[in-house]
Structure 1
Amino acid sequence: MIVRARDWDASRWIEIEIRDGMLERIDECDRPRDGGEDEVFVAPAFWDIQTNGRWGHSFSSPDVTVDQVVSIIRAQRGLGAARICPTLITAPVDDTLHGLRTVAEACDSHPDVDRMVVGVHLEGPFLSDQNGYKGTHPADAMRDPDWSLFERFQEASGGRVILMTLAPERPGSAEFIRKAVASGVTVSVGHTAVDRDSLSEAVEAGATLSTHLGNGIAAELPRHPNPIWLQAAEDRLYASLIADGHHLDREVLRVLARAKGWHRLILVSDAGWLAGLPAGNYGAWDVDPSGKIVLAGTPYLAGSTQGLETGLRILDEVEPSFPRPLLDTVTVNPARLLNQPAPRLAVGEPADLTLLRRPAPGRLMLEKTCVGGEWFERSV
């Protein structure tokens, strides 16, 4: 299998030979004469460290099945992603344990799924239960950090929990963060009304990320200080952002991107359980024609319906920087955050690739994705 495209890391055209799911040969080549006006770029496939479900199924559901987990994870290939963190939100303990065991069983029984799952992201239950900060997470299932409970979660997942989001103002957070980081888990702050002291204590304990900065927060805040500015100004924290056109205004996206800098910026889809479904009412939830999901009758956002392609396109519109460092936000940066080898185009690396066109800033388009040497057409 031969691929010819522009190298994401240089101006040159390259020819890549793929064999047995690996990159066997990479040579410089001439630009194809029939390449058209829009040049094709080749880059590593995306990493999405926060995706919650699809097609009406959630990883947090008390009745999610192995087949549903497998289908959701495999669907990411049509969205450009080869590595993901299935994300479980706050839920009753038994529901979380069921979701973790089901993800573990899906990985254990399907090698391709296991290969795609970097690890599990637990977004809760140690979050703020205050209105606004809790978002659509159920307050009655939230609690203070509890290491013994986390150990139950980790055991249920087969040791796969790699990322944990919590609210640092919860009692016992700093000690929990130290234990989690020592065990190899990356800790993020999110859904939090954190103040300066609590944030500093969390970062000193080892927290390294802000989860969907600018969201999961009250609608009205003091001008300053407030949790957004405190986290944006903390240089020891990466920030994940949901750039789906709904969660952050373009001006806010630009400001937060500039505050964190490209090397600390990570795009996430935060795709919810309604992703992939048509607009309409789904009980307590509404999906409008633009794809925005809200708790019915409220302005509270409940995840996204968009993939990382949308986020890259919008970020590229407000801060043009294609191909790099724009694409680092869904490749190198999340890998570095999770202490994983950074994806790259090199002989001997897995054949996890994306082909992209970008005729102008804000017009980036995913063409297709190669995962483990197998190609998948773009889907929505």
Structure 2
Amino acid sequence: MRRFWMAGGIGIGLCLSFLVLIVVGTYSAAAGLAGAGAAGGRALGLAKGAVPAKYQNLVQKWGTLCPAMTPALLAAQLYSESGWNPSAVSPADARGIAQFIPGTWAGHGIDGDGDGDRDIWDPNDAIPSAASYDCELAKDVAGVPGDATSNMLAAYNAGAYAVIKYGGVPPYQETQGYVKAITTLAKSFERPVGRVAPSQQAAGAIYFAQKQLGTPYLWGGNGTPDQDGRFDCSGLTKAAYESVGIELPRVANDQYNAGPHPSRGELLPGDLVFFSDDLTNSRAIHHVGLYVGGGYMINAPYTGAVIRFDKIDTPDYFGATRVTKDGAAALPDRSADAKSP
């Protein structure tokens, strides 16, 4: 709250040695790249499609309003607040895409599009107002030691006075959690400036998924006994990473934000691969699979099919996410609204 489908499957008859090579290859790739990491500093560019196209220019422009802000950070806040829903209303009456409470809006809302009014429901006003409000807070705590971005986010959550009083991020569990969540989530909106660090849990997730090969698909399936161990696409990927201690959201378009986004040429086994009806909008993602190398994924494709291998290079291929534990933990809980896939 702003305080204020697929081509036909390859089947399951691939030889065991191929599966062994996949798992061993995952560990080998992780070992070989573990020291590489992401080069350079924080990115100002946005990952392809991470921000819906109709808001991308706004976020890119206003996300550079002050030095403590980046477009990815602004995107992370908006996604966390409303999931890009301009009609969202919280139980506390926070409104719109940026979730301003009316009293806060009265003092801090701006006419972002210059049309003569300040409309809390209009993203053309609300997104610039969110950036402007953050930068006001950054200015209020500019003299406080420590990281300017963390202090700005802490002021947003706990108030500027608390940041000044404690000389940095206050020792409040909620505030420290908020700062960590937004700064971590921002990484999923950044266009990488170097190689994305490999996942250390990838092999275990693949091992889980390959054990499900041949299992019939079930819309809404989570693999529970009453569902005869059946899955849909995002249920399978969620369960695969849950088996290695990472809790993903239930739906595919939220799973996309669980980590940074390697390019097609940088994919590693264990990456989640996504498919969308709109290649400019991650919210339109309709399918997810688990990449296993060689241009193939394990996935639960559709009703009437079984969990199987499929090629990823299709016209609706959207992109990939390298899941991280911190990235998954930073995602807002939308379980009450979750629907398959």
TM-score by length of 1: 0.23
More helix by share: 2
Structure (1/2) with the larger strand percentage: 1
User: Highest CA radius of gyration, 1 or 2?
Assistant: 2
